[in-house]
């Protein structure tokens, strides 16, 4: 008998009809002989509603109390799903994060899982229950409720699968797998049968909003086979696993993109040792994440220092930089919020040269100017004017023939019947 951890997101449990449908889906898997742990998010948009209540009440809600409030969304959904399961003859038992317990650190709103005590879950599985666990939350050493940040239910599911040594962790959502790029931008984007942890980590970090990055990191660290599936459309989904010598990879597996980028340039900075640290340390101290970094040395002994941040952090970063520039006697600080990042991702890049130059050539043929470039072993990213984003993605998708599947098309489940 296999042990499966299934996770259903907010769109999968958005209303009572959806919850009844999910209950029937869980019941079907139970009848196939699988032990099941089901992780559930809050009902669709419920977390947004709760967050709005808090911010309408006060401009800066207390982080501890915010976690207490936000955790109630999952309490509703796990109770309703458990009721629905029991109603159709499937024994079920619900658990809040602190009841498992899922132990976390004390970073409210963005806690990290430290340990999981799975004794209660194993006992209930042995007794024939489907165990329904609230995603997104845990408890710290002081007994305070914590939350794991947006998308944290994915991390809950993967962490439970790792701790329970589950045969597979299935992430059910409103898409039927991981695509070569967003089908809304490229209609002939193809669902990938299999993608490596490395590729999925890059795709997630670069804008593919299918899985939370931390969930992918966790799955890779503990070798938890992940499968992304649609709640409402039957199909094999996409398996996320370690690279296998038998896997036939395209050179480029997928294209990720992000519109939420902003660029900042400090011009005329004195070219002396430690200049990068002087610019970036205040940005880091403000908890602002920096992505692409470029430094250009001029003929006059000064340098232009360029980097990108998330668009939501632009105003704060600009304010900090202006103060830093004044102190360093830099010439000016300028920025641009109308940029986008496009990235090619694929483990096949390791053994194929010329991917970056081909990318640049294709974009050049479309009249798209590249502002910044960043590369790694399995990724090439460029920043461009936001208005050219969709044109660039479509051109690259066609040129690298991502609509065509590799030779080995489907990857069977490892689940034991």
| Count of alpha carbons within 13 angstroms of residue 402, beta-carbon side | 30
Q: Which residues are annotated as a binding site for substrate?
A: 47, 74
Comparing CA positions, the residue from 135, 102, 98 lying closest to residue 116 is 102
Binding-site sequence positions = 7-10, 47, 74, 173-174, 179, 184
| Structural domain boundaries in the chain | 3-245, 255-399
CB atoms within 10 A of CB 18: 19
From first to last of its 417 residues, the chain has per-residue pLDDT tens of 799 999 999 999 999 999 999 999 999 999 999 999 999 999 999 999 999 999 999 989 999 999 999 999 999 999 999 999 999 999 999 999 999 999 999 999 999 999 999 999 999 999 999 999 999 999 999 999 999 998 899 999 999 999 999 999 999 998 899 999 999 999 999 999 999 999 999 998 887 778 888 899 989 999 999 999 999 999 999 999 886 655 556 789 999 999 989 999 999 998 888 889 999 999 999 989 999 999 887 777 788 999 999 999 999 999 999 999 999 989 999 999 999 999 999 998 988 889 999 999 999 999 999 999 999 899 999 999 999 999 999 999 999 999 987 655 455 555 655
Q: Which CATH class is domain 255-399?
A: alpha beta
Domain 3-245: give its CATH architecture: 3-Layer(aba) Sandwich (3.40)
Binding region for ATP: 7-10, 173-174, 179, 184
Enter the tokens of residue 36.
């099941």
- Residues, the chain: 417
Q: Which residues pair with 344 in a beta bridge?
A: 255, 380
Tokens of 27: 């019941």
């Amino acid at each position: 008998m296999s042990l499966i951890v299934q996770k259903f997101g907010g769109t999968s449990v958005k209303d009572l009809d959806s919850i009844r449908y999910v209950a029937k889906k869980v019941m079907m898997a139970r009848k196939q002989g699988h032990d099941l742990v089901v992780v559930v998010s809050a009902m669709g948009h419920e977390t947004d509603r709760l967050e709005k209540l808090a911010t309408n009440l006060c401009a800066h809600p207390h982080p501890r109390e915010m976690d207490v409030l936000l955790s109630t969304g999952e309490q509703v959904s796990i109770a309703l799903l458990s009721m629905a399961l029991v109603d159709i003859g499937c024994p079920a038992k619900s658990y809040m994060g602190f009841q498992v317990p899922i132990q976390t650190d004390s970073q409210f709103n963005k806690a990290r899982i430290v340990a999981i005590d799975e004794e209660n879950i194993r006992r209930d599985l042995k007794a024939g229950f489907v165990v329904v666990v609230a995603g997104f939350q845990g408890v710290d050493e002081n007994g305070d409720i914590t939350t794991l940040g947006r998308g944290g239910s994915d991390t809950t599911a993967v962490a439970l699968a790792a701790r329970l040594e589950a045969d597979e962790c299935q992430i059910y959502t409103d898409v039927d797998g991981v695509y070569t790029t967003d089908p809304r931008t490229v209609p002939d984007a193809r669902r990938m049968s299999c993608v490596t942890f490395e590729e999925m980590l890059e795709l997630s970090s670069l804008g593919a909003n299918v899985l939370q990055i931390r969930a992918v990191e966790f799955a890779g660290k503990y070798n938890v086979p992940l499968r992304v599936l649609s709640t409402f459309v039957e199909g094999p989904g996409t398996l996320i696993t370690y690279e296998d010598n038998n896997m036939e990879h395209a050179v480029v597996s997928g294209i990720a993109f992000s519109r939420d980028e902003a660029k900042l340039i400090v011009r005329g900075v004195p070219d002396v040792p430690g200049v990068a640290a002087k610019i970036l340390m205040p940005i880091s101290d403000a908890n602002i994440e920096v992505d692409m970094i470029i430094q250009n040395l001029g003929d006059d002994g000064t340098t232009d220092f360029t980097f990108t941040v998330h668009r939501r952090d632009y105003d704060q970063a600009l304010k900090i930089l202006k103060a830093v520039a004044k102190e360093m006697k830099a010439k000016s600080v300028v920025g641009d919020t109308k940029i986008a990042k496009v990235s090619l991702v694929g483990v096949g890049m390791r053994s194929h040269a010329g991917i970056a130059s081909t990318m640049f050539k294709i974009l050049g043929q479309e009249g798209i100017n590249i502002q910044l470039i960043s590369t790694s072993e399995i990724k090439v990213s460029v920043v461009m004017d936001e208005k050219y984003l969709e044109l660039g993605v479509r051109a690259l998708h066609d040129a690298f023939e991502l609509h065509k599947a590799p030779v080995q098309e489907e990857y069977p489940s490892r689940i034991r019947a």
